[in-house]
Amino acid sequence: MVSRGNPMDHPTPIYIARKEVHKYFPGLSSKTLANQNSQGKGPTPIKRGRLVFYRFDELKDSFERKQGKAGRLITKL
């Protein structure tokens, strides 16, 4: 399936492939998620063969927590 346009214009997916995460969460890279997973941190990965997926809701919660921490740091400066 080929996706065209802004992914946020489409219905919210249940799962997102690691390589597609940046389309839904600007500033969050697949490499960051891979590093977090190797350290036992971040959202829980779901592996299907060589592909890695994440639950959209879990990614969203994790991303919003990170953004909130960054926002608090900036306001303290």
Give the domain ranges of the chain.
12-76
- Band of pLDDT at residue 25, cut at 50, 70 and 90: confident
The average pLDDT across 27-33 equals 92
Which of these, 22, 19, 24, lies nearest to 7 by C-alpha position?
Answer: 24
- Band of pLDDT at residue 1, cut at 50, 70 and 90: very low
pTM here is 0.70
Q: Above 50 in pLDDT, residue 2?
A: no
Contact (CB, 8 A) for 56 and 13:
yes
What span, in angstroms and rounded, lies between the C-alpha atoms of 60 and 62? 5
Number of helices followed by number of strands (H, E) in the chain: 3, 3
